[in-house]
């Protein structure tokens, strides 16, 4: 059923099907997107992740042609689209608000893009049927968007964008208006369809779980600038900036001072970037910290500090201790196995972690 679509959307996999070159959007003196360089290979699902106002949606809208770029180029499949108007860009866009045509039936919504492309009547009927089946809405063809639930409406929007076999599928926070359960369901569904069709897609989200679980690559943005591009594993295991470390996954960020590439915290030395001096942040993930009662046999670890339990939070599967170490709080998360002693606030403990789990960043001025 989807073979036809797959055949059209698939092509030579390779580097840089979509290239953004120095893409910039300025509003007066304010740079909403600042010199964005990015290569998206064919068939990948790439997330634009960041807090609101980081420029991720503006970037997406520039790719779609809904916002003119101040400078920079947008190239798709070797063709420069920077000056091409939206309706000739051949992209599919799925909006957070669904943006279905309220005066048209589901089938007519889906058919719209094909009508614009002057596709023959019989072929429109066949492809609309396929696309509606692809998003599991067969039988709802004659419904109006107003008669459908939020999740169903978003499926129609997805079918409407996919049926034209766009060169790129753009998704602008498509799950934000859905409730939690539906969100999980749609997450898997979008990922399945994207993989099955082999379509190149950009997924804008502020939700790190969506970005990490769905996407091949994640582009982390902050204040209009690109912070890091990488696979979900890259971002989590080797965050390159303090912002990425803080935004992706949970982390302890400890204030310390470095001198000549060595940071000091609670009597321990941490390797920082060669020659780095001044205020720094030491980052370590809460579940990568091992904890033992003071005086007990210490578990293996490259770094060791001691502290006092300030707070104990038992959450069933996770046991969290907030430990006061030299006046700063280090959170420790332990997976519960059953039968462990729960330490009470005031208990003296020692913490340890491996060298590769620590990152030291120059503190933002």
Partner 1 sequence: MDERPVSLALKLMALTMFVFLLAPLIVVVPISFSGDSYMMFPPSSWSLKWYPAIFTDGKMTSAFWTSLLLAFVVTVLSLLIGLPAAYALVRLKPRGAEAMSALFTAPLLLPTIVLGLAILIVFSRYGLLATFQGLVAAHLVVTLPYAIRVLATALATLPIPIEEAAATLGASPFTVFRRITLPMMKSGLIGTTALCFLVSFDEVVLSLFMTGPRISTLPVAMYHHVEQQADPLVASLSVLLVILTLLVVLVVDRTSGLAKTFVK
C-beta of residue 28 within 8 angstroms of C-beta of residue 175: no
Nearer to partner 1 (CB atom), residue 163 or residue 248? 163
Read out DSSP for 244-306? Answer: HHHHSS--EEEEEEEETTEEEETTEEEE-STT--EEEEEEE-GGG-EEEETTSPPPP-SEEEE
Q: Which residues bind partner 1 (CB under 8 A)?
A: 64-66, 85-93, 95, 97, 99-103, 112-113, 116-117, 157, 160-161, 164, 170
- Which pair of tokens denotes residue 285? 């993930």
Nearer to partner 1 (CB atom), residue 85 or residue 316? 85
Q: How far apart are CA 273 and CA 152, in angstroms?
A: 50
Nearer to partner 1 (CB atom), residue 86 or residue 188? 86
Cβ at position 117, least distance to partner 1 in Å: 6
Cβ at position 332, least distance to partner 1 in Å: 45
C-beta of residue 231 within 8 angstroms of C-beta of residue 216: yes
Nearer to partner 1 (CB atom), residue 161 or residue 245? 161
Cβ at position 18, least distance to partner 1 in Å: 15
C-beta of residue 137 within 8 angstroms of C-beta of residue 149: no
Nearer to partner 1 (CB atom), residue 111 or residue 214? 111
Cβ at position 357, least distance to partner 1 in Å: 43
Cβ at position 93, least distance to partner 1 in Å: 4
Cβ at position 100, least distance to partner 1 in Å: 7
C-beta of residue 155 within 8 angstroms of C-beta of residue 131: no
Nearer to partner 1 (CB atom), residue 124 or residue 220? 124
- Which pair of tokens denotes residue 280? 């720094």
Q: How far apart are CA 17 and CA 279, in angstroms?
A: 41
């Amino acid at each position: 059923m989807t073979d036809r679509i797959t055949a059209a959307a698939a092509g030579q996999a390779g580097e840089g099907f979509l290239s953004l070159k120095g893409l910039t959007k300025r509003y007066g003196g304010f740079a909403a997107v600042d010199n964005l360089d990015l290569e998206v290979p064919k068939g990948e699902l790439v997330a634009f992740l960041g807090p609101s106002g980081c420029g991720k949606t503006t970037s997406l809208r520039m790719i779609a042609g809904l916002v003119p770029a101040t400078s920079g180029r947008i190239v798709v499949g070797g063709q420069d689209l920077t000056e091409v108007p939206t309706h000739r860009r051949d992209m599919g866009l799925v909006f957070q608000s669904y943006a279905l045509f309220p005066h048209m039936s589901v089938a007519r919504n889906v058919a719209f893009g094909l009508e614009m492309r002057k596709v023959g009547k019989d072929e429109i009927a066949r492809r609309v049927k396929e696309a509606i089946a692809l998003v599991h809405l067969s039988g709802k063809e004659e419904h109006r968007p107003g008669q459908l639930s939020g999740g169903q409406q978003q499926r129609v929007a997805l079918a409407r964008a996919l049926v034209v076999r766009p060169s790129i599928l753009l998704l602008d926070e498509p799950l934000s208006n859905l409730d939690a359960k539906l969100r999980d369901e749609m997450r898997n569904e979008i990922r399945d369809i994207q993989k099955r069709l082999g379509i190149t897609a950009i997924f804008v989200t502020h939700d790190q779980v969506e970005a990490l679980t769905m996407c091949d690559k994640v582009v982390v943005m902050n204040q209009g600038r690109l912070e890091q591009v990488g696979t979900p594993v890259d971002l989590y295991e080797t965050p390159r900036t303090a912002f990425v470390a803080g935004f992706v996954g949970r982390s302890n960020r400890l204030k310390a001072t470095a001198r000549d590439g060595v940071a000091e915290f609670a009597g321990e030395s941490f390797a920082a970037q060669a020659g780095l001096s001044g205020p720094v942040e030491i980052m370590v993930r809460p579940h990568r910290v091992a904890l033992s009662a003071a005086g007990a046999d210490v578990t293996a670890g490259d770094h060791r500090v001691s502290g006092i339990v300030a707070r104990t939070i038992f959450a069933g599967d996770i046991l969290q201790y907030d430990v006061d170490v030299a006046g700063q709080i280090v959170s420790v998360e332990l997976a519960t196995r059953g039968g462990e002693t729960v330490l009470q606030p005031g208990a003296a403990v020692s913490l340890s972690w491996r060298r590769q789990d620590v990152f030291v960043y120059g503190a933002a001025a």
